[in-house]
């Protein structure tokens, strides 16, 4: 029973309340939950504030968040390596046929299509678009929107922040546009 719990996906009724509990616990002690700020704190901790004013702040007040980020790395290692589940993902037949029609057959062996996301792909048009240009848009967008998709959707909406609502609606609209109009073209580059 415990082995199934550790090696399988956790159900929403456990993870959802756990996220909610963590958020409200941080709220009651006066902390803001967010991962994007750890990059700023890390750069400040390494001395970037001496050259760039943006990084010149008291990073020690955010050191708890750095510990949280380290915990995510350790948790990711435990979940992805120590408690790795080698069973293929349980995907709908329509999803499998769509992936195969696009030439993406690596869904059986991992979470990302290795036909696109591997070092050799950097030298192809498709790989460059997904890895470099897509990575730039994610990094720039997270900084410009003052947070990532998860940060706005979980923390910002829980704080009832209007900018987070606008950001989340924008994320969904952008995702729908890419899914319905661009992804097939981009994958076949």
| Extents of the domains making up the chain | 1-87, 118-189
The pLDDT value recorded for residue 176 is 94
pLDDT digits (tens, 9 = 90+) for 144-186: 887 788 788 887 887 788 988 999 999 899 999 988 998 888 8
The yes-or-no verdict on residue 113 having pLDDT over 90 is no
Q: Write out the two tokens for 2.
A: 């415990």
The CB density around residue 2, as the number of other CB atoms within 10 Å, is 6
pLDDT interval class at 108 (50, 70, 90): low
The pLDDT value recorded for residue 166 is 92
The pLDDT value recorded for residue 1 is 64
What is the value of pTM for the model shown? 0.66
Region at 146 (left for phi over 0; alpha for psi -120 to 50; beta for the rest): left
The pLDDT value recorded for residue 177 is 94
The pLDDT value recorded for residue 158 is 77
For residues 38 and 69, the answer to whether their CB atoms sit within 8 Å is yes
CA–CA gap between residue 48 and residue 97 (Å, rounded): 49
Half-sphere exposure of 146 (CA within 13 A, CB side): 10
């Amino acid at each position: 029973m415990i082995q199934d719990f550790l090696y399988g996906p956790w159900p929403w009724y456990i993870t959802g309340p756990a996220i909610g509990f963590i958020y409200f616990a941080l709220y009651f002690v006066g902390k803001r939950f967010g991962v994007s700020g750890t990059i700023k704190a890390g750069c400040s901790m390494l001395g970037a504030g001496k050259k760039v004013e943006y990084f010149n702040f008291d990073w020690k007040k955010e050191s708890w968040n750095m510990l949280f980020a380290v915990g995510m790395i350790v948790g990711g290692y435990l979940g992805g390596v120590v408690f790795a589940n080698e069973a293929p993902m349980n995907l709908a037949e329509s999803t499998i046929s769509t992936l195969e029609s696009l030439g993406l057959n690596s869904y059986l062996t991992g979470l990302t299509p290795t036909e696109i996301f591997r070092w050799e792909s950097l030298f192809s048009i498709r790989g460059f678009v997904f890895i470099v240009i897509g990575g730039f848009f994610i990094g720039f967008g997270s900084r410009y929107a003052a947070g990532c998709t998860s940060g706005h959707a979980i923390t910002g909406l829980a704080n009832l922040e209007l900018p987070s609502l606008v950001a989340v609606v924008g994320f969904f609209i952008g995702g729908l546009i890419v899914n319905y109009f661009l992804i097939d073209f981009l994958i076949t580059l």
